[in-house]
């Protein structure tokens, strides 16, 4: 546990001092992430918004309220989850700096090592780097894109994420539920092909911002909450992260 705390402290300090992309110039605070170091699961969003940038904490604005409320409705205390983003500083629109925008690939790439280190750190057992299956709730398209593009270089991501940075490969994609009007969360089983003995089950869900903006006329708050219940139930059915053995190990 001490080793995990020390590694997380190092990551936090590195993020706070990072100037590897242009977002460093416009940020108020970098937002490395926070939460339990023995989490029930890891929640990965896309990037901080205006509210998060102002205080350095993830998911504290309107979107965060929707997300945290949905977690609590599933009897999950957000403090029992590790919450972070794929990109650690806020991207804003050049034509209107008050508005948030999704991060670009040129911002995801230099930032990718931080999330990778966080996931590997959380997959350890505190006394060494044990083999673990890490359940991840990927909130929004960018978070899912981080995993899929790292995991599927054959899809063309290799040129954008050099092999030395990624090292993930896609093992399988399993449909958790049949496709429906509410969308079908999938399970991405991945592991490092660079000798990293970690496997991720990545459960995608819509970003709360999409829900707040009308959800394309179909993803209401009720649909969001119901899908969250399905996913969280599945993730927790196999026990907390620290107790999950690597399937097939």
Q: Which residues bind ligand SF4 (CB under 6 A)?
A: 15, 18-21, 23-24, 30, 87-89, 107, 110-111
Question: CB-based contacts of 34: which residues, under 8 Å, 6+ apart?
Answer: 57, 58, 82, 83, 84
CB of 183 to ligand SF4, least distance (A): 28
CA angle 170, 174, 179 (to 5 degrees): 130
Q: Measured from the CB atom, is 88 or 145 closer to ligand SF4?
A: 88
Three-class SS state of 45:
strand
Give the residue among 32, 46, 33 at the shortest CA–CA distance from 144: 46
The total number of residues written for the chain in this structure: 249
Secondary element (H or E) of residue 97: strand 96-100
Cα 7 to chain centroid distance, Å, stands at: 18
CB of 104 to ligand SF4, least distance (A): 11
CB of 122 to ligand SF4, least distance (A): 18
Q: Measured from the CB atom, is 30 or 121 closer to ligand SF4?
A: 30
Q: Measured from the CB atom, is 113 or 183 closer to ligand SF4?
A: 113
CB of 118 to ligand SF4, least distance (A): 12
Q: Measured from the CB atom, is 20 or 173 closer to ligand SF4?
A: 20
């Amino acid at each position: 546990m001490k080793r995990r705390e020390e590694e997380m402290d190092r990551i936090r300090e590195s993020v706070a001092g990072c100037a590897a992309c242009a977002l460093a110039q416009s940020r108020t605070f970098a937002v490395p992430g926070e939460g339990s170091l023995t989490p029930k699961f890891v929640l990965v969003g896309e990037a901080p918004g205006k509210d998060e940038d102002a205080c350095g904490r993830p998911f504290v604005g309107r979107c965060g309220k929707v997300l945290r409320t949905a977690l609590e409705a599933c009897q999950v205390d957000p403090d029992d989850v590790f919450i972070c983003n794929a990109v650690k500083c806020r991207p804003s629109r050049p034509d209107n700096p008050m508005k948030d925008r999704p991060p670009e690939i040129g911002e995801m790439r230099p930032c990718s090592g931080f999330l990778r280190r966080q996931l590997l750190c959380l997959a350890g057992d505190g006394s060494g780097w044990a083999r673990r299956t890490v359940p991840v709730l990927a909130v929004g398209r960018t978070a899912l894109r981080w995993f899929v593009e790292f995991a599927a270089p054959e899809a063309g991501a290799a040129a954008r994420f050099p092999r030395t940075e990624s090292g993930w490969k896609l093992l399988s994609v399993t449909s958790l539920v049949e496709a429906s009007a509410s969308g079908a969360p999938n399970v991405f089983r991945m592991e490092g092909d660079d000798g990293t003995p970690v496997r991720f089950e990545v459960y995608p869900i819509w970003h709360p911002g999409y829900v707040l903006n009308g959800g394309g006329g179909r993803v209401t708050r009720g649909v969001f909450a119901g899908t969250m219940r399905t996913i969280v139930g599945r993730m927790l059915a196999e026990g907390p992260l620290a107790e999950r053995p690597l399937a097939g190990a």
